[in-house]
Amino acid sequence: MSVIAPIKNKKFMDAILANSEFVSGFDQLRSKGNKGLESTPFPTLRHEYWKYTKVSGLLNKEFTINKIVNPVISEETLAMMGDNPRLIFVNGFLNLDLSILPTESGISVTGLSDLSENDLAKFPVDWENEQEAFTLLNEASFTDGIHVSVAKNTKIEAPLFIVHIQNGDKTGSANRNYFELATGSEATFITVFEGDQEISFSNQFSSYLVADNAVLNAFDYHQNGDLSNLVSVAIAHQYANSHINLGSYIFGGKMLRKNIYVSVLGTNCETTINGAYILNDKQTADFRVIVDHKAAHCNSNQTFKGVMSDKASGVFNGKIYVRKDSQLINAFQTNRNILLSDDANAYSRPQLEIYADDVKCSHGSTIGQLDEDALFYMMARGIRRLEAEKMLVSAFVADAIANVNYEPFQEVIMESIASKSAKF
């Protein structure tokens, strides 16, 4: 691999780092990021895990992080949230006027400005020291973030919404959010991304600490603006008897790259990671998903479904590790894709790396088209082609959203599938 001097993207970095409204008190993290950037180049197509997504265009632009006033939250998001608590980030700054803090007992939200680096030392920040330039840039440039903690043996009923609104031409944002579920607790977080139609760049980092017997449900819903770019890292550690249930649903945004790392550190865990991406135009969604089984007697399941039309690209790069003494693991990984045009692309690399001998693992991927026989059958019953396609796409994606445990959100996803399909 050729090493490109990081100086190459200096303007890109300088513009983002020029923001002076950083949350203070995280000097170690910031200097770690800055230092890392000196020796870690931004990815090119020659990078093993960035083979299919080109970021050179993004890196040639200069994004600035600045606060804006009077942001607008979409009607759809407002309707979906109902009366539930919400944390609203606008261009990466937590806006308390628009937010509604949770009132249920057992859940607390603290802004990073009220915390020190020591308070967050227990959270995972990387997987096997894998540090990409974007993640380092996040460490160096993050403006704001939250720490959510759920108390021992408490089930939080209301989902907590986290909404990221990105507005303004050439604006950037960078956040770090930390979620801590104490022993036996349960909570649901739904993160919504939306914004205007200007060029933007959002750099997100989330860390999850899931203690024994806890249940984490965390879903991302992407209705990012048409010209927006997003890179995000989600990293989780889970301990014995815990459940992690993640979902990523992508409809909007020009380029989205999502790295998801789950380390299973205790026995009898359940891990579900699902994703669906319905893309058109020149959209790209690129997933790197790692499930690392470091303990025995666990189940993990990944279901990723992609539907691409026009010149869109969907990338799934998934890997399951089963470490040497992690016996009796059931691990499954599926990535299925439908291409609706000649110029659409699907890249699928489901991989297993197994060092234990008593395990049940499978992986698979398919890339195909909508079933023409089914379309004809439906049309022969009077169903318009567009409607028939919509129904087949919804049916295809359905099992990737089956794990969503908040029904109004599931309905919103279904509606988005239908309305996105109508644009094909």
Partner 1 sequence: MSTPIISIKNLHAEVEGHKILKGFNLDIYPGEIHAIMGPNGTGKSTLAAVIAGKDEYEVTEGEVIFNGKNILELDPNERAAEGVFLAFQYPIEIPGVSNTNFMKAAVNNIREYHGKDPLKAKDFLKLMKEKQELVELKGRLANRSVNEGFSGGEKKRNEIFQMAMLDPKFAILDETDSGLDIDALKIVANGVNQLHTKENSFLIITHYQRLLDHIIPDFVHVMYDGKIVKTGNKDLALELEEKGYDWLK
Interface contacts to partner 1, rule CB under 8 A = 371, 373-374, 376-385, 387-388, 391-392, 394-396, 398-399
In the bound state with partner 1, the residue whose beta carbon lies nearer, of 355 and 376, is 376
Q: How far is the CB of 373 from partner 1 (least distance, A)?
A: 5
> 149: which 2 tokens?
């903690």
What's the Cα-to-Cα distance from 280 to each of 78, 322, 395, 412, rounded to whole Å? 25, 36, 18, 19
Alpha-helical runs (H) found in 66-214: 75-81, 133-141
In the bound state with partner 1, the residue whose beta carbon lies nearer, of 286 and 389, is 389
Alpha-helical runs (H) found in 72-157: 75-81, 133-141
Q: How far is the CB of 394 from partner 1 (least distance, A)?
A: 7
Q: How far is the CB of 366 from partner 1 (least distance, A)?
A: 13
Question: C-alpha 220: how far from its chain's center?
Answer: 6
Contact between 51 and 11 under an 8 Å Cβ cutoff? The reply is no
Q: How far is the CB of 385 from partner 1 (least distance, A)?
A: 7
In the bound state with partner 1, the residue whose beta carbon lies nearer, of 281 and 371, is 371
Q: How far is the CB of 38 from partner 1 (least distance, A)?
A: 50
In the bound state with partner 1, the residue whose beta carbon lies nearer, of 125 and 388, is 388
Give the residue from 320, 255, 299, 309 showing the smallest Cα distance to 53: 255
Distance between CA atoms of residues 126 and 116, nearest Å:
19
CB atoms < 10 A from the CB of 342, how many?
7
Give the residue from 296, 298, 294 showing the smallest Cα distance to 272: 298
In the bound state with partner 1, the residue whose beta carbon lies nearer, of 133 and 388, is 388
Q: How far is the CB of 372 from partner 1 (least distance, A)?
A: 9
In the bound state with partner 1, the residue whose beta carbon lies nearer, of 367 and 383, is 383
CB atoms < 10 A from the CB of 383, how many?
15
Q: How far is the CB of 407 from partner 1 (least distance, A)?
A: 17
218 - beta bridge partners?
189, 246
Distance between CA atoms of residues 340 and 396, nearest Å:
13
> 326: which 2 tokens?
């992690």
In the bound state with partner 1, the residue whose beta carbon lies nearer, of 69 and 380, is 380
